[in-house]
């Protein structure tokens, strides 16, 4: 029980560090700063998302996507640490087992928790990769024309009137 509380405190500390990084990047004082020269620019959205999933989306004012990526990554990392801790506890019990039956049971639990840890680690990598693809597409399409619908009425030769509708997506 005491070890699980310590582990929860460690995870809470990690999440607090991530939260502090996020809050430090979006302080209201940044709005009053003067434009810096190009050589001194801070990290772009792609670099921010490379460091912390969701940070780039937050900087692009896509708060729901940013929160979703950050929460998904936090859940995956919690799963990694929790299952690693349970695997280590059962490994210690396996090493000190008094009977063969206990050793087999604890070894199976170790393999179960190690497998779960590895799946959570794979899921965390997938969330990170999906986050990078998402922010890349956001940054790539940022300079292009916005989505929209246009409608034009034109008068051509011989007093013909034409209607043109265009949709960009």
Digit-coded pLDDT (tens) for 131-140: 999 888 888 8
pLDDT score at 117: 95
Q: Are 3 and 89 in contact (CB under 8 A)?
A: yes
Residues 116, 87: Cα–Cα separation, whole Å? 9
Q: For 73-107, what is each residue's pLDDT tens digit?
A: 999 999 999 999 999 999 999 999 899 998 999 99
**Cα R_g (the chain), whole angstroms:** 26
Record the pTM. 0.60
Residues 114, 81: Cα–Cα separation, whole Å? 11
Buried b (16+ CB within 10 A) or exposed e, 125-136: eebbeebbebbe
As a whole number, mean pLDDT of residues 1-13 equals 60
- Between 168 and 104, the more confident residue is 104
pLDDT score at 7: 65
Q: For 103-128, what is each residue's pLDDT tens digit?
A: 999 999 999 999 999 999 999 999 99
Q: For 24-54, what is each residue's pLDDT tens digit?
A: 555 444 444 555 555 556 778 888 888 888 8
pLDDT score at 30: 46
pLDDT score at 32: 47
Angle, helices 63-95 vs 2-25, to 10°: value is: 160
- DSSP of the chain, one letter per residue? -HHHHHHHHHHHHHHHHHHHHHHHHT-GGGGGSPPPPGGG----HHHHHHHSTTHHHHHTT-HHHHHHHHHHHHHHHHHHHHHHHHHHHHHHHHHT-SSHHHHHHHHHHHHHHHHHHHHHHHHHHHHHHHHHHHHHHHHHTSSSPPPEEEEEEEE-GGG-EEEEEEEE-
Give residue limits of the domains in the chain.
Answer: 2-74+124-168
Torsional class of 8: left (φ above 0), alpha (ψ -120 to 50), beta (otherwise)? alpha
């Amino acid at each position: 029980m005491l070890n699980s509380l310590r582990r929860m405190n460690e995870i809470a500390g990690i999440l607090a560090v991530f939260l502090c990084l996020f809050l430090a990047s979006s302080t209201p004082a940044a709005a009053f700063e003067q434009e810096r020269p190009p050589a001194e620019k801070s990290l772009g959205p792609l670099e921010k998302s490379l460091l912390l999933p969701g940070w780039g989306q937050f900087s692009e004012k896509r708060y729901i996507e940013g929160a979703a990526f950050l929460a998904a990554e936090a859940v995956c990392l919690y799963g990694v640490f929790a299952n690693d801790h349970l695997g280590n506890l059962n490994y210690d019990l396996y090493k000190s087992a008094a009977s063969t039956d206990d050793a087999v049971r604890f070894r199976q639990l170790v393999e179960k928790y190690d497998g779960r840890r590895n799946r959570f680690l794979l899921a965390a990598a997938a969330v990170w990769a999906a986050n990078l693809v998402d922010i890349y597409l956001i940054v790539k399409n940022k300079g292009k024309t916005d989505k929209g619908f246009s409608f034009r009425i034109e008068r051509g030769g011989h007093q013909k009137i034409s209607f043109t509708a265009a949709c960009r997506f």
